[in-house]
Structure 1
Amino acid sequence: MKNSIFLKIFSGYLLIVIVILAITFPFSFRAIRHHHIDTLTDSLKNLCVTLNFKISSLLEDNRLEDLDSFIKDLGKEIETRITVINPEGAVLADSEKKPSLMENHRKRFEIIEAIKYGFGTSLRYSASVKEEMLYVAVPIENNGVTYGILRASLFLKEINSLLNNLKMNIIKVAAIIVIILLIGAFLFSRNLSKPLNELGHASRKVAQGDFSIKVLLKGRNEIKELADSFNYMTDQINTLFSQLSNQKEELNSIISSINEGLCVIDKEGVISISNKSFNNIVQNDSVKGKTYWEVLRITRFDELIQAVQREKNSIVNEIELNNRTFLCSATYCANKEEIVVTLHDITKIKNLEKTKKDFVTNVSHELRTPLTAIKGFVETLHDTNDNEEDQHYLNIIKRHTDRVIRIVNDLLLLSKLEGKSDSLELDKVNLNNLIENILKIFEQNLKEKNLVLKFNPDSSLPVIKADPFKLEQVFINLIDNAIKYTERGEVVISLSHKKGMVTIEIQDTGICIPKEHLSRIFERFYVVDTSRSRKLGGTGLGLSIVKHIVHLHNGRIDVKNIPGTGTNFIVTLPV
């Protein structure tokens, strides 16, 4: 059962009052009793001192009968028991009993103290009168001679009766005080718990979605300030909730209107959000709450999601689904460990790309035969005609024919590489030896342009598995470009390896590639300077071929433009 704050506060006050009374009353009664006993002790002591002279004269004259009679009369008159004892402890006179019948009092505590210290007191039960009594004893002296001990005593039943009456009065007063305190505690607890209960009720309403609830309290205290803060908070929450609802509706509308398929996959692999386009792509209208492998049973998609979860990064790849090609982008969201997946239909683009590739391949095949024939006839005319003017034109025709033939051959090679129909013939390749042999091809070109070639091999470079013929094409193309586009200075070729990867850098001091062209130099037919490319006989396909050969080897090629020092091509290949 839930304990209310009212019961807690009220019971707390009640416990405090009970504890205070339980501690205060016993000490109060004991203090009052001790005070009364001390007062009576002083009175009895004064009485003994007053009677000392009278009793000492009777003892000095040895008038014991007169002493006993005097003591009995005085005891009845003042309602106090008086006893006279000689120094040996024998009772000489007593106001209550016959002295000869009383036992020796030498060992009584008050007698011992009176003899030793000049004053003695004791509180004990009297065997002779069968009641609790207070005893006070003082020595009887005259002219420095001790004749005995005078003891006065009183019954404590009167003190106990007085204390009992006082106790009852104190209990009555305490009961009235307790009742008043409890009434005050009740009112205080109710006044404190009532607004808190209202706040608790209002909080539950807010938790249920009712933001219109208000807590209106009177007064100017902390609880009133709390209620005002609560009302302000509910207004703010209501405003924020409305804004969030509007934003959610707007977001849902945007997501639903996106043509690309979109879904969100949580860390357990469950689809939490999806739009209509995604449902149409997977041909399933109830994907929410299902695992992605139930909805998309595609190995490549599963590998993509696992790679994103493992690397916690964004990955883009192509997947085939229902005879259509989609560009799948998976982005990792670290805050919720979710993955946002978008599917963009690129089937038309891929078909168009295939059509273009097929067209280029077919045209290239068709052009090879007439170009070969043209080249043959031009060479025949060149050999059989001695006219200088005709020779000039024939040389022009031959040069452009060779250039077109190179373009056609490069296009055919590029088509094979892009279609991956040209498989790699892997073998063990020592890159130091391979590049060293390639450099011999360019010795004449370097001499003609007066360029310096620096080759920095790595003696610890591991042997890699690669297609040596295709790698020759890569490095011949890159070195040829470096020499071709460098008018003065040097070409530096460096080899290194790190963490299972081999790096080949080809750096020149030629013309710098403008920054805006760096991202496009690997596109087919893309040239930075068209007039210079034609002059040098470039086809615009060399770097595209290089890129595809490197990718076939699962490698990477990068280019850095170094202002003032030239260009640096970096090829990275796995060991």
Structure 2
Amino acid sequence: MARIGIMWRQLAYYYLIIIVTVSVLALLVAEKTERYYLRGIEEDLRIRAELIEEVLVGYLPGGHIEDIDQIAKKLGRKIGTRITVIAPDGVVLGDSEEDPERMENHATRPEIKRALEGQVGKSIRYSTTLKQRMMYVAIPVEKSGRIVGVIRTSLPLEEIEGLIGTMNRNIGHFTVLLLTFALVLACLSSKLLSRPIKDMVDTTKKIASGDFGVRVFAKRKDELGELAAALNEMARKLEDSFASLSTERQELRAILSSTVEGIVVLEEGGRIILANESFKRMFGLPPSIGG
């Protein structure tokens, strides 16, 4: 099984962290942006409803349905927004898109129920009348402290969702570019970190094989730099120790060679480790025996 190098392991860790972080951020940005965009549209629909209220408040309650419906249709065409006027009992008094007499009672609609409670009603749901998803904002119309009707404005979500989809795709493209750029940076970072480690591993192998003159060239000021300096110091001390041992061995050989008496050094098993020339001549041993 192939061994995975530290560079690739570190790269995988870095990139996994980057992917998770960037993906979470992208999702948060997309969600926040969509929420902000929808909130802006809700606010715009609320302002439009309040402006329409100023026009229609004189017709509520008790105004002719034909007059209310005609005004709703006229204003709806001008501002490009669907307008619905509802009585307190849920009966539709006017609508910019449909005939109010053919529309069902709206008292159970969530945004209408909220408006009849004196609050601003908001809802995103499927319109059975227009056969598409809509955003609704409804406000109460009050006179003398009592609710006399509801003004509701709405827009189809098809165009809005298209804009949000385009925005999310742009965020996705930017995320891919960011991840690609992050991958390049992670590769460079991993390579810069793994290179001195590989050099130290190679140097350690050479020292283990007896090459004490090898050194690690690292100019880093971090822990890796300290490790490289310690490795170089160890190699220097080993080199000095080996040189001292070699010198002592040469001196010992010179002393033994100049001694007339026969001298031999045996290991525990009786094998000759060292013998001078006098000893070799005494016993007729070949020159290669005992150094």
Q: How high is the TM-score relative to the length of structure 2?
A: 0.80
Q: Deviations over 1:131-177 (max 9, x none)?
A: 22111111122333432211111112222222222222223333332
Whether the aligned pair in 2 keeps the contact of 1:55 and 1:140 (CA below 8 Å) is no
Give aligned pairs, total.
261
Q: Which residue of 2 aligns with 1:119?
A: 120
Deviations 1:402-429 (A, max 9, x none): xxxxxxxxxxxxxxxxxxxxxxxxxxxx
CA apart distance, 1:218: 4.2
With 39-48 and 174-183 compared, the bigger mean Cα shift is at: 174-183
CA apart distance, 1:223: 3.0
Distance 1:247 1:80 in 2: 103
Aligned twin of 1:77: 78
Q: Kindly tell me: are residues 183 and 56 of structure 1, through their superposed partners in 2, closer, same or farther at Cα, counting changes over 3 Å?
A: same
1:245 CA drift (Å): 6.8
**Relative contact order, higher structure (CA 8 A, sep 6+):** 2
1:274 is paired with a residue whose SS is coil
Query: Is the alpha carbon distance of 1:170 and 1:40 closer, same or farther for their aligned partners in structure 2, counting shifts above 3 Å?
Result: same
Name the structure with the higher strand share. 1
SS at match of 1:117: coil
Q: Which one-letter code corresponds to 1:199 in the other structure?
A: M
Note the C-alpha offset of 1:91: 1.2
Q: Corresponding residue for 2:276?
A: none
Q: Is 1:42 the equivalent of 2:43? A: yes
Whole-Å separation in 1 of the counterparts to 2:193 and 2:40: 50
Q: Summarize deviations over 1:380-418 as a string: whole Å, max 9, x none.
A: xxxxxxxxxxxxxxxxxxxxxxxxxxxxxxxxxxxxxxx
Query: What CA distance in whole angstroms lies between the structure 2 residues aligned with 1:220 and 1:87?
Result: 78
The amino acid that maps onto 1:180 is: F
Instruction: Work out the CA distance in 2 between the residues paired with 1:49 and 1:177.
Output: 44
Q: Give the corresponding residue for 2:52.
A: 51
1:166 and 1:111 mapped to 2: Cα distance?
31
Structure 2: how far apart are the matches of 1:80 and 1:244? 98
Q: Partners in 2 of 1:245 and 1:127 — Cα distance?
A: 100
Offset at residue 19 of structure 1 (A): 0.1
CA distance change for structure 1 residues 155 and 62 in 2, over 3 Å: closer, same or farther? same
Label 1:78 to 1:276 Cα distance change in 2 as closer, same or farther (>3 A). Answer: closer
Structure 1 position 87 matched with structure 2 position 82: no
Aligned residue type for 1:166: M
1:180 aligns with 2:181: yes
Q: Which amino acid aligns with 2:229?
A: D
Between the aligned partners of 2:118 and 2:10, the Cα distance in structure 1 is 57
State the 1:61 CA deviation: 5.0
Report the residue type matching 2:99 in the other structure.
Answer: K
- 2: CA distance between counterparts of 1:64 and 1:117? 23
* Partner in structure 1 of residue 286 of structure 2: none
CA-CA distance at 1:60 after TM superposition: 3.6
For the 8 Å contact 1:52–1:141, the answer to whether it is kept is: no
Partner Cα distance (1:45, 1:237) in 2: 84
- Secondary structure, aligned partner of 2:117: helix
Which residue in 1 is equivalent to 2:280? Answer: none
Task: Report the Cα offset of residue 179 of structure 1.
Answer: 2.5
Residue 219 of structure 1: how far off its partner (Å): 5.3
Q: What secondary structure is seen at the aligned counterpart in 1 of 2:136?
A: strand
Determine the structure 1 residue equivalent to 2:162. 161
Query: Pairwise mapping of residues 180-259 of structure 1 onto structure 2 (< 5 A)?
Result: 180-218=181-219, 220-243=221-244, 257=264
| Separation in structure 2 between the aligned mates of residue 53 and residue 231 of structure 1, nearest angstrom | 87
Q: What residue ranges of structure 1 are gaps of 5+ in the alignment?
A: 264-272, 278-575
String of CA shifts for 1:199-222, please: whole Å, max 9, x gaps.
Answer: 111111122222222222345554
SS, match of residue 73 in structure 1: helix
Spell out the pairing of 1:386-535 with structure 2 (5 A cutoff): none
1:227 offset after TM fit, Å? 2.3
Letter of the 1:274 counterpart: G
State the distance in 2 between where 1:215 and 1:61 align. 95
CA shift in 2, pair 1:127/1:248, >3 Å:
farther
Rounded Cα–Cα distance in structure 2 between residues aligned with 1:6 and 1:40: 50
Q: Does the Cα contact within 8 Å between 1:133 and 1:155 map onto a contact in 2?
A: yes
1:173 aligned partner, one-letter code: F
- Contact (CA 8 Å) 1:29, 1:167: kept in 2 or not? yes
- CA displacement 1:264-310 (0-9 Å, x = unmatched): xxxxxxxxx33469xxxxxxxxxxxxxxxxxxxxxxxxxxxxxxxxx
Local SS of the residue matching 2:142? strand
Aligned AA (1:76) = R
- For normalisation by structure 1, the TM-score amounts to 0.42
Tell me which residue corresponds to 1:100.
101
The root-mean-square deviation of aligned C-alpha atoms, in Å, is 2.5
Give the corresponding residue for 1:68.
Answer: 69
Match of 2:279?
Answer: none
2:30–2:171 contact (8 Å) kept in structure 1: no
Q: Which residue of 1 aligns with 2:29?
A: 28
Distance in 1 of aligned mates of 2:197 and 2:144: 84
Give per-residue Cα distances to partners, 1:418-442, cap 9 Å, x unaligned.
xxxxxxxxxxxxxxxxxxxxxxxxx
Letter in 2 for 1:153: S
* Contact map agreement 2:135 2:154 (CA 8 A) in 1: yes
Correspondence for 1:495: none
SS at match of 1:103: coil
Taking the aligned partners of 2:249 and 2:113, their CA distance within structure 1 comes to 100
Question: 5+ residue gaps in structure 2?
Answer: 257-262, 273-291
Whole-angstrom CA distance in 2 between matches of 1:248 and 1:134: 96
Aligned to 1:514: none
- Is the 2:23–2:175 Cα contact (8 Å) retained in structure 1? no
Change beyond 3 A, Cα 1:276–1:147: closer
Highest CA radius of gyration, 1 or 2?
1
Change (3 A) 1:276 1:172: closer
Deviations 1:18-41 (A, max 9, x none): 101221122211111111121121
Shift of residue 244, structure 1, vs aligned partner: 5.7
- Kept after mapping to 2: 8 A contact 1:90/1:106: yes
CA distances 1:219-241 after superposition (whole Å, capped 9, x unpaired): 55543443232122112122334
Percent of aligned pairs sharing the same letter: 32
What is the letter of the counterpart of residue 217 of structure 1?
Answer: A
Match of 1:104, SS?
coil
Q: Does 1:133 align with 2:140?
A: no
Q: Matched residues in 2 for 1:43 and 1:58: separation?
A: 24
- Name the CA shift for 1:276/1:220 in 2 (closer, same or farther; >3 Å): closer
The answer on 1:274 being equivalent to 2:269 is yes
User: Where does 1:345-360 land on structure 2 (aligned, <5 Å)?
Assistant: none
Give the residue type in structure 2 aligned to 1:100: E
Distance in 2 separating the partners of 1:244 and 1:127:
99
Specify the code of the residue in structure 1 equivalent to 2:151: L
